Amino acid sequence: MTRTHTIGPLFTDFYELTMAASYFDHHVFDSATFSVFIRNQPMLRSYFVAAGLEQVVDELNNFHFNDCEIAYLKETDLFSADFLSYLTDLRFTGQLRAMAEGTIFFPNEPILEISAPIIEAQLLETFILNTIGFQTMIATKAARCIHAAKGRPLLDFSLRRTQGQDAGNKVARSTYLAGFNSTSNVLAGKLYDIPLSGTMAHSFVTAFESEIDAFQAFYKTFPDASVFLIDTYDTLEGARNAARVAKHMQQHGHHLIGVRLDSGDMTELSQQVRAILDEEGLPNVKIFVSSGFDEFKITDVLARGARIDAFGVGTKMGVSADAPYLDIVYKMVRYKDRNVRKLSSEKITLAGEKQLFRKYDPNGFYAEDTIGLRDDIIEGTEPLLETIMENGKIVAPIPPLQTIRGRFKQNFSKLDDRFKTCKKVYPVHLSTRLKRLQDIV
Amino acid sequence: MTRTHTIGPLFTDFYELTMAASYFDHHVFDSATFSVFIRNQPMLRSYFVAAGLEQVVDELNNFHFNDCEIAYLKETDLFSADFLSYLTDLRFTGQLRAMAEGTIFFPNEPILEISAPIIEAQLLETFILNTIGFQTMIATKAARCIHAAKGRPLLDFSLRRTQGQDAGNKVARSTYLAGFNSTSNVLAGKLYDIPLSGTMAHSFVTAFESEIDAFQAFYKTFPDASVFLIDTYDTLEGARNAARVAKHMQQHGHHLIGVRLDSGDMTELSQQVRAILDEEGLPNVKIFVSSGFDEFKITDVLARGARIDAFGVGTKMGVSADAPYLDIVYKMVRYKDRNVRKLSSEKITLAGEKQLFRKYDPNGFYAEDTIGLRDDIIEGTEPLLETIMENGKIVAPIPPLQTIRGRFKQNFSKLDDRFKTCKKVYPVHLSTRLKRLQDIV
């Protein structure tokens, strides 16, 4: 039996299974709550964009070990027949509480909590961290690019250098969620109904006798959907060749969408190419750029006066190159009737099941957050964690990606620009009751 | 139809398909050769370890568009019925030449070449770059960790923070290829027959009334396969608790494999814990560590005298944090009877179909490499690229992972240690004929 849709429960660290076996041996079946949060990296990220919940719900809703998976575990000779039989019947029967995808949040705030018999909750750790961590990291990086581009369209061009195949698809989904216009990833376009973009590479241009031959050939196939890549030989000569073909297209009732630059000094070249296109009476032919763009390079070229209409954003965004992992953790905060936490060392966690409360200012902007106990009541705030699954069943279905995308856009407009860089820390407090609990655990 | 094994041809940048449609329109079907190499990042990586070929061969061998994929392309309204019909019948009919997995190579050297009708060759670009690039990056990072650990076992603990699910599995395979002993990733263990490792997390310890209760419970389930995590409360007290249980185990004929430290100053703590275990007459109980290890931290703690027997290596290795992408490219070097290359800007490529020639010194160590034309003959050297597929059929099957792992180990012993850091550049030349060709292209 091969899985076709979910990844399955073997996508886990082995210790989740050895711990489960020992819990089973000792009849440890009480309910535990695990809380997910991201530790502070203050120089790198001031805010995060929640993403990945859809896949978590899908996996939990289909959680089971199939025969082939049980047979593999049996081969290890480490697990008793009773335990394997128990795993065969295991389903997720617990509660999932989480903030909606597209929610903006801050370091140390609870993103998601699982309450379930301890074996179920423990077995989900690795999958949840991987799934929420990666997609949140990319949605966050994408949001930073969106902010830098000041309204200009962004295109996801990262697929060739994402860290594997699943990453390529999840980058397309997470960037679209955060406001990108399209992706070059055809499979992701199909999976998630994301618009596609892409026209030609340098190899296309070199496969024809001349650059102008290549442009003409392409336009004949895509008379109203062409963007010509103009830097294969000489960028300014390429711009003139593109202009020649564009004017020919106009005479036949067609329109060249744009030209693309993929190398060189983007500020200077974009200004020169804009001048050539304008002189040729082609002010509506747009300038696309690609090659090494991320939020830092976008900010830089725009500050220097680049004439760029849209950015293809690739590798550095697709691997979150300046911060390629988040310090995301899944920590037990309650077991049976005890609030618990790990005490040693620098890695402090807060005991207790939590809720996150957001307060708005009179203009609708985010004012401050309070991390509280789940049953805290904090007037004048919006609680952000909601119950998504109860007794293993979905009670709040995940909305379509378009809805999530719209929600993020609205959320992002409510976060004051000064909190969108790492220079200003957004205020996050602990509630009185949560603080008091830590003293008595 | 859902794919269960291969990822399929929609895992591609959209422009590969628009170029293909235009080639088709203009009857451009001649053969092209594309060459894959990694541009130099001299401060970050001095050598690379080839990985990922197995999946490339598997995908090329099964290359086809299924009905569901064609239907999706039809929905875009950009492609003619004739072109879609052509795609439906398309299979890989070309040649694949590549260096074996586990081969050590250097910047700008050809890793893999595809020669096929241009549409086939073009459509494979994104998949090949993603597949070879990521796995080579991780195998290389893993080799750097292996070198730093000086013979101590390394365990892949990265799964929770790899960039998605496919990455998690490929990291396990690539690290095992490069000499890691095991992985925590159960699914990868099943997929690739890699030994598993992992025992307990902090949550296990906190789920019991006391630390010693947790150790005893675990030992009863795994009497001969236990490693106790000792830093949940106080590391040195944890070491004493572990020693108590270990001596109890000895009385019952069992052996504690080790203890694990996951926080704090690893050098100092490992020395103190070693002293406690030795005093208790437990010199065979090993010290495992985890938390933030990569080649840099391994080197550092060993230089400072840490008493560590094995390293769990996680996040920073699993995302190659110091170099989270390679500048890997897939460039057309020949089309029809012409040698071609892109000329503009700083990104120079070398025209022509290539071979890589390695020369050894009298002691069997690598002496120097020459990048030459495919039909160069360079005496006293070993050619490293071999034909893997011909006319779309496999002619040199990929060996088992164990064989590749053994080959890498042997190769790595032939690379002098001074080339294993970025301080000394391994000599790579161009052959006379390859140089001459560039002048006349």
Give the tens place of pLDDT for each residue, B165-218: 999 999 999 999 999 999 999 999 999 999 999 999 999 998 999 999 999 999
Secondary structure (3-state) at B279? helix
**Mutation site for A-interface testing, chosen from B33, B127, B163 by largest number of A Cβ within 10 Å:** B163
- Which residue has 């719209």 as its token pair? A406
Contacts of B33 in chain A (CB under 8 A): none
Q: Are residues A313 and A331 in the same domain?
A: no
Enclosing H/E stretch for B84: helix B81-89
How many whole angstroms separate alpha carbon A413 and alpha carbon A418?
12
How many whole angstroms separate alpha carbon A287 and alpha carbon A277?
10
Nearest one of A350, A346, A322 to A334, comparing CA atoms: A350
Number of folded domains in chain B? Answer: 2
DSSP summary character for residue B161: G
Longest dimension (CA), chain B: 81
Q: Which of A15, A220, A233 sits opposite B201 (nearest CB)?
A: A15
Contact: B130, A264; criterion CB under 8 Å: no
Nearest CA in chain A to B218: A22
| Radius of gyration of chain B from its Cα atoms, rounded to whole angstroms | 26
Contacts with B62 (C-beta within 8 Å, 6 or more apart), sequence order: B5, B6
Contact: B200, A18; criterion CB under 8 Å: yes
| Radius of gyration of chain A from its Cα atoms, rounded to whole angstroms | 26
Domain membership flag for residue B220: yes
- Which residue has 């590969």 as its token pair? B16
Position B347 confidence tier, pLDDT thresholds 50, 70, 90: low
How many whole angstroms separate alpha carbon B298 and alpha carbon B308?
10
Q: Which two tokens stand for residue B331?
A: 């460039």
Query: ipTM of this model?
Result: 0.97
Q: Are residues A313 and A328 in the same domain?
A: no
The whole-chain average pLDDT of chain B stands at 96
Q: Which two tokens stand for residue A76?
A: 């290890």
Per the document, the length of chain B is 441
Residues β-bridged to residue A229: A260
Q: List alpha helices for A48-183, DSSP H.
A: 53-61, 67-75, 81-89, 118-123, 125-149, 165-177
Q: Are residues B163 and B130 in the same domain?
A: no
Q: Are residues B103 and B174 in the same domain?
A: no
Q: Are residues B122 and B168 in the same domain?
A: no
Which pLDDT belongs to residue A298?
98
Exposure letters A338-357 (e unless 16+ CB within 10 A, then b): ebbbbbbbebebbbbbbbbb
Per the document, the length of chain A is 441
Cα three-residue angle B219-B225-B228, rounded to 5 degrees: 60
Position A48 confidence tier, pLDDT thresholds 50, 70, 90: very high
Contacts of A122 in chain B (CB under 8 A): 201, 203-204
Domain membership flag for residue A397: yes
Nearest one of A287, A326, A313 to A159, comparing CA atoms: A313
Nearest CA in chain A to B162: A130
Q: What's the domain range around B188?
A: 147-315
- Which residue has 């895509």 as its token pair? A222
Check if the beta carbon of residue B212 is closer than 8 Å to that of residue B206: no
Q: Residue type at A355?
A: Q
Q: Could you tell me what percentage of chain B is helix, strand and coil, using 3-state DSSP and rounding each to the nearest 5?
A: 40, 20, 40
How many whole angstroms separate alpha carbon B411 and alpha carbon B248?
45
Contacts with B329 (C-beta within 8 Å, 6 or more apart), sequence order: B36, B37, B38, B39, B129, B349
Q: Are residues A229 and A356 in the same domain?
A: no
Sheet holding A154-156, edge to edge: A182-183, A154-156, A310-313, A286-289, A258-261, A227-229
Question: A239-242 long-range contacts, Cβ below 8 Å, gap at least 24?
Answer: A239/A272, A239/A273, A239/A276, A239/A277, A240/A276, A240/A280, A241/A211, A241/A212, A241/A215, A242/A215, A242/A277, A242/A285
Q: Are residues A226 and A247 in the same domain?
A: yes
Strand pairing of A310-313 and A154-156?
A: parallel
Domain membership flag for residue A309: yes
Q: Residue type at B358?
A: R
Q: State the burial class of residue A359 (Cβ atoms within 10 Å of its Cβ: 0-12, 13-18, 19+).
A: middle
- Mean pLDDT across the stretch A259-263? 96
What's the pTM? 0.98
Q: How many CB atoms lie within 10 A of CB B29?
A: 12
| Strand ranges inside B65-223, DSSP E | 95-98, 104-105, 112-117, 154-156, 182-183
Per residue in B209-264, pLDDT (tens digit) is: 999 999 999 999 999 999 999 999 999 999 999 999 999 999 999 999 999 999 99
The whole-chain average pLDDT of chain A stands at 96
Strand pairing of A354-360 and A366-373?
A: antiparallel
Helix A53-61, helix A125-149: angle, nearest 10: 160
Q: Are residues B114 and B251 in the same domain?
A: no
The CATH number of residue B303's host domain is 3.20.20.70
Q: How far is CA B361 from CA B376, B381, B408, in A?
A: 21, 10, 19
Domain membership flag for residue B72: yes
How many whole angstroms separate alpha carbon A205 and alpha carbon A216?
11
Contacts of A218 in chain B (CB under 8 A): 18-19, 22
How many whole angstroms separate alpha carbon B353 and alpha carbon A207?
16
How many whole angstroms separate alpha carbon B256 and alpha carbon B222?
10
Computed from CA positions of residues A171, A177, A178, A184, in that sequence, does the dihedral angle turn out positive or negative? positive
Contact: A222, B22; criterion CB under 8 Å: yes
How many whole angstroms separate alpha carbon B412 and alpha carbon B48?
11
Q: Are residues B283 and B212 in the same domain?
A: yes
DSSP summary character for residue B365: -
Domain membership flag for residue B260: yes
Q: Are residues A159 and A307 in the same domain?
A: yes
Domain membership flag for residue A143: no
Q: Which of B203, B263, B344 sits opposite A122 (nearest CB)?
A: B203
Which pLDDT belongs to residue A340?
85
Contact: A344, B263; criterion CB under 8 Å: yes
DSSP summary character for residue B100: P
Helix B125-149, helix B401-413: angle, nearest 10: 60
Position B55 confidence tier, pLDDT thresholds 50, 70, 90: very high
Per residue in B380-431, pLDDT (tens digit) is: 999 999 999 999 999 999 999 999 999 999 999 999 999 998 989 999 999 9
Final residue in a domain of this structure, among A318, A350, A371 = A318
How many whole angstroms separate alpha carbon A64 and alpha carbon A95?
16
Which pLDDT belongs to residue A344?
54
Check if the beta carbon of residue B373 is closer than 8 Å to that of residue B434: yes
Contacts of A175 in chain B (CB under 8 A): none
Contact: B14, A221; criterion CB under 8 Å: no
The CATH number of residue B28's host domain is 3.20.140.10
Question: B27-30 long-range contacts, Cβ below 8 Å, gap at least 24?
Answer: B28/A207, B28/A217, B28/B118, B28/B119, B29/B117, B29/B118, B29/B119, B30/B117, B30/B118, B30/B335, B30/B336
Nearest one of A76, A84, A90 to A29, comparing CA atoms: A90
Which pLDDT belongs to residue B5?
81
Contact: B344, A235; criterion CB under 8 Å: yes
Which pLDDT belongs to residue B2?
59
Contacts of B320 in chain A (CB under 8 A): 324
Q: Which two tokens stand for residue A210?
A: 């001349």
How many whole angstroms separate alpha carbon B310 and alpha carbon B289?
7
Q: Which two tokens stand for residue A438?
A: 């830590």
Final residue in a domain of this structure, among B292, B315, B338 = B315
Computed from CA positions of residues A365, A383, A39, B130, in that sequence, does the dihedral angle turn out positive or negative? negative
Final residue in a domain of this structure, among A318, A342, A367 = A318
**Mutation site for A-interface testing, chosen from B161, B322, B346, B350 by largest number of A Cβ within 10 Å:** B161
Residue A334, pLDDT above cutoff 60 = yes
Which pLDDT belongs to residue A3?
74
- Mean pLDDT across the stretch B24-30? 96
How many whole angstroms separate alpha carbon A271 and alpha carbon A267?
6
Q: Are residues A170 and A296 in the same domain?
A: yes
Enclosing H/E stretch for A48: strand A48-49
Q: Which of A21, A69, A129 sits opposite B160 (nearest CB)?
A: A129
Domain membership flag for residue B353: yes
Contact: A130, B184; criterion CB under 8 Å: no
A4 to chain B, closest Cα gap in Å: 5
**B335 torsion bin: left (phi>0), alpha (psi -120 to 50), beta (else):** beta
Contact: B164, A184; criterion CB under 8 Å: no
How many contacts, defined by CB atoms under 8 Å, are there between A and B?
Answer: 332
Secondary structure (3-state) at A133? helix
Domain membership flag for residue B83: yes
**Mutation site for A-interface testing, chosen from B72, B344, B348, B349 by largest number of A Cβ within 10 Å:** B344
Contact: B165, A160; criterion CB under 8 Å: no
Check if the beta carbon of residue A387 is closer than 8 Å to that of residue A98: no
Q: Which of B21, B159, B231 sits opposite A221 (nearest CB)?
A: B21
How many whole angstroms separate alpha carbon B272 and alpha carbon A163?
39
Per residue in B102-151, pLDDT (tens digit) is: 999 999 999 999 999 999 999 999 999 999 999 999 999 999 999 999 99
Q: Are residues B357 and B429 in the same domain?
A: yes
